[in-house]
């Protein structure tokens, strides 16, 4: 719908909001919702979620303040997170294999 050239800012804001609402509505109607399967990552737990949030916090902080200022904290957070993933996966698969019949 074309708008007149002498539109006010308020009218243009209303048009923009209407346009945005229509895009959001069309997207929510046409984009399928993703669902996570409980089998996708059976080793994932809340501790890993917390460690991931911590790592992302230091990542954002290092980007905002400059990488050199938070380099050591970011590296420690990454190492802790990835080592926790490795040990959690290992423990999960060892438990899984113990429960299987040979």
Q: Phi, psi at residue 37, to the nearest 5°?
A: -85, 140
The alpha helices in 1-102, defined as continuous H runs, are 9-30, 46-65, 71-99
Question: What is the 8-class DSSP label of residue 33?
Answer: P
The yes-or-no verdict on residue 91 having pLDDT over 80 is yes
Chain centre to alpha carbon of residue 20: 23
Predicted confidence (pLDDT) per residue in 68-85, tens digit: 778 899 999 999 999 999
Please report the pLDDT score of residue 6 as a whole number. Answer: 67
Q: What is the pLDDT of residues 29-53, one digit of tens each?
A: 998 887 777 778 889 999 999 999 9
At residue 85, the pLDDT reads 96
The domain spans of the chain are 46-99
Extract the tokens encoding 18. 């209407």
């Amino acid at each position: 719908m074309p708008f007149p050239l002498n539109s006010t800012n308020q009218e243009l804001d209303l048009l923009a909001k209407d346009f945005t609402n229509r895009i959001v509505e069309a997207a929510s109607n046409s984009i399928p919702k993703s669902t996570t399967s409980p089998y996708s990552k059976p080793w994932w737990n809340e501790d890993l979620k917390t460690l991931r949030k911590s790592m992302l916090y230091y990542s954002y902080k290092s980007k905002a303040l400059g990488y050199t200022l938070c380099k050591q904290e970011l590296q420690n957070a990454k190492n802790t997170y990835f080592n926790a993933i490795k040990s959690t996966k290992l423990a999960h698969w060892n438990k899984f294999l113990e429960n299987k019949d040979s």
